[in-house]
């Protein structure tokens, strides 16, 4: 008989309750953390409550000690110290905090045709046509010339206003509808409506822009030029919700990759004195190639390991690299679930199915696995056994048909150290859309996979 594959059916009655409880917490998290900064601030707050201490405040590390490193407020590392010396390696789960969105340009505000608007520059892989005709909220920070930081979060409260990008009325869309989908809405068309009331009495020209400037100044202490030292993101203002008559799914923005951030963080909370030190990496900038000093292409991970190792005596380059080489990792990122609406894009026999557990993905990449980490079968076999031994619902994943496109994760960056690494995360429907969908049972399977990996994998 073929083994049961549905993660919900595989779960015990007690586990079904855990699936629901985790889902409820996850929805709250998604509604609170819509940017990398909000994600890191959520993690800091929750980790502190669970006895994780800022590594800076410790002089020595003992087995069982729980620590975190906040990296510029946009990335973070958290760890539970294990019994073995660091040099024998870590069990690492690496996810990413950033999500596709629309960033404001440095000179965003202008007036046209009775409206004030903001110019945007999209971040990461988006289908531009998905962004008009949605309520949008505004998140981020503005740093004043003297260093004062102003936090922006407008559009999440029921009483807040929202913003939007208007779409062209169908009545006049003849030319637009004949364009390719990639050209129907262009990057420069993604301008956000932010107001329409003129200043009175005011200047002859740009009275509406002047009125918005006044509001920004009076209410938020933001001057026009302050946008040049700001990071402001427009994201969907919709709340995450349960989906389906049976409430088995969760829909919401930013699940790639906050589903892995959340599940790996929850898993780490439940790890106690592991054999090898357990580390969660929450990296930024994955969606644009892991670049910048908060992305995993930087020395973020080495620096975290040096900081850890130096707490117990001076660590040299050899020791740091040896510890990393001796490590094992799960690259915690999402895969695309088989979607019957777009069957032609998938290889049915090799795609992940929603609700069938966490996906183990040997390779990603495109045009013949280009730029993917191609996990070693010796390591994959050990992970399979670990998951089967601990009742983790898992399935294989491959991102769609061979020549259909592709994508990447941080796996290849971790593999540079010589550590074993494989991609492992839930499969989503509508990945990178403003409303991505995951199955509750898969979210729980990811949590369990990361927990048993960090706690048990030897
Ligand atoms: Mn991702
Ligand atoms: Mn992505």
pLDDT value at 231 more than 70: yes
Residue 451 Cα to ligand 1 midpoint, Å, equals: 20
Judge whether 333 and 428 are in contact, CB under 8 Å. Answer: no
Residue 257 Cα to ligand 1 midpoint, Å, equals: 5
Question: Which two tokens mark 379?
Answer: 């390591």
Q: What is the DSSP letter of 352?
A: B
Residue 218 Cα to ligand 2 midpoint, Å, equals: 37
Query: Ligand nearest 433 Cα, by number?
Result: 2
Q: Cα dist. 29→124, 170, 224, 440 in Å?
A: 22, 37, 32, 14
Query: Ligand nearest 126 Cα, by number?
Result: 2
Question: Which two tokens mark 219?
Answer: 């209410």
Residue 192 Cα to ligand 2 midpoint, Å, equals: 23
Q: What residue spans define the domains of the chain?
A: 7-99+253-456, 101-236
End-to-end CA distance of the chain: 31
* pLDDT at residue 1, rounded to an integer: 60
Residue 24 Cα to ligand 1 midpoint, Å, equals: 22
Query: Ligand nearest 259 Cα, by number?
Result: 1
CA 239 – CA 160 distance, rounded (Å): 14
Residue 89 Cα to ligand 2 midpoint, Å, equals: 28
Residue 336 Cα to ligand 2 midpoint, Å, equals: 10
Of residues 107, 11, 60, 85, the one with CA closest to residue 447: 11
% of the chain at pLDDT higher than 70 = 100
% of the chain at pLDDT higher than 90 = 92
* pLDDT at residue 82, rounded to an integer: 98
Q: What is the pLDDT of residues 120-150, one digit of tens each?
A: 999 999 999 999 999 999 999 999 999 999 9
Of residues 203, 223, 225, the one with CA closest to residue 214: 223
Query: Ligand nearest 287 Cα, by number?
Result: 2
Q: Are strands 53-54 and 394-396 parallel, antiparallel or unpaired?
A: unpaired
Q: What is the pLDDT of residues 142-151, one digit of tens each?
A: 999 999 999 9
Question: Which two tokens mark 425?
Answer: 């995360």
Query: Ligand nearest 96 Cα, by number?
Result: 1
Q: What is the pLDDT of residues 301-323, one digit of tens each?
A: 999 999 999 999 889 999 999 99
Q: Which CATH number fits domain 101-236: 3.40.120.10, 3.20.80.10, 3.40.190.10, 2.30.250.10?
A: 2.30.250.10
| Ramachandran region, residue 267 (left: φ > 0; alpha: ψ -120 to 50; beta: rest) | alpha
Q: What is the pLDDT of residues 316-350, one digit of tens each?
A: 999 999 999 999 999 999 999 999 999 999 999 99
Instruction: State whether residue 49 is helix, strand or coil.
Output: helix
* pLDDT at residue 191, rounded to an integer: 98
Residue 314 Cα to ligand 1 midpoint, Å, equals: 35
Judge whether 95 and 36 are in contact, CB under 8 Å. Answer: no
Query: 7-99+253-456 belongs to which homologous superfamily?
Result: Zn peptidases (3.40.630.10)
């Amino acid at each position: 008989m073929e083994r049961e594959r549905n993660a919900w059916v595989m779960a015990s009655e007690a586990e079904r309750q855990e699936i629901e409880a985790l889902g409820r917490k996850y929805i709250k998290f998604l509604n609170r953390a819509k940017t990398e900064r909000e994600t890191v601030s959520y993690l800091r707050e929750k980790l502190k409550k669970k006895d994780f201490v800022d590594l800076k405040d410790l002089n020595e590390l003992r087995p069982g000690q729980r620590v975190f490193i906040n990296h510029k407020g946009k990335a973070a590392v958290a760890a539970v110290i294990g019994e073995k010396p660091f040099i024998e390696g870590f069990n690492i789960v690496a996810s990413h905090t950033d999500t596709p969105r629309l960033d404001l340009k440095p000179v965003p505000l202008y007036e046209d045709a009775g409206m004030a608007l903001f110019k945007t520059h999209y971040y990461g892989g988006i289908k531009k046509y998905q962004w008009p005709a949605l309520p949008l909220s505004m998140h981020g920070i503005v740093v004043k010339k003297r260093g004062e930081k102003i936090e922006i979060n407008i559009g999440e409260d029921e009483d807040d206003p929202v913003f939007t990008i208007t779409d062209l009325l169908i009545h006049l869309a003849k030319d637009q509808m004949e364009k390719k989908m990639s050209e129907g809405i262009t990057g420069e068309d993604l301008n956000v409506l932010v107001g329409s009331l003129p200043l009175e009495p005011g200047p002859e020209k740009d009275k509406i822009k002047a009125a918005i400037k006044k509001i920004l100044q009076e209410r938020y202490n933001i001057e026009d030029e302050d946008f040049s030292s700001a990071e402001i993101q427009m994201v969907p203002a919709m709340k995450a919700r349960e989906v389906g008559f049976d409430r088995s799914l969760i829909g919401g923005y930013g699940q790639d990759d906050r589903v892995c951030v959340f599940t790996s963080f929850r898993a780490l909370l439940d790890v106690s004195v592991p054999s090898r030190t357990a580390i969660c990496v929450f990296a930024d900038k994955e969606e644009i190639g892991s670049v910048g000093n908060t992305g995993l292409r930087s020395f973020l991970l080495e620096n975290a390991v040096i900081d850890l190792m130096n707490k117990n005596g001076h660590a040299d380059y050899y020791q740091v690299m040896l510890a990393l080489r001796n490590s094992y990792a799960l690259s915690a990122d999402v895969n695309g679930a088989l979607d019957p609406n777009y069957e032609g894009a998938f290889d049915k026999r090799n795609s992940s199915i929603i609700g069938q557990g966490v996906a183990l993905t040997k390779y990603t990449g495109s045009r013949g696995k280009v730029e993917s980490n191609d996990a070693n079968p010796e390591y994959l076999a050990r992970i399979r056994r670990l998951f089967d031994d601990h009742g983790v619902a898992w399935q294989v994943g491959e991102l769609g048909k061979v020549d259909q496109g592709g994508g990447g994760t941080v796996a290849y960056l971790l593999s540079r150290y010589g550590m074993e690494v494989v991609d492992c995360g839930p499969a989503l429907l509508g990945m990178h859309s403003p409303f991505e969908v995951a199955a509750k049972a898969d979210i729980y399977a990811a949590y369990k996979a990361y927990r048993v990996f960090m706690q048990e994998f030897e």
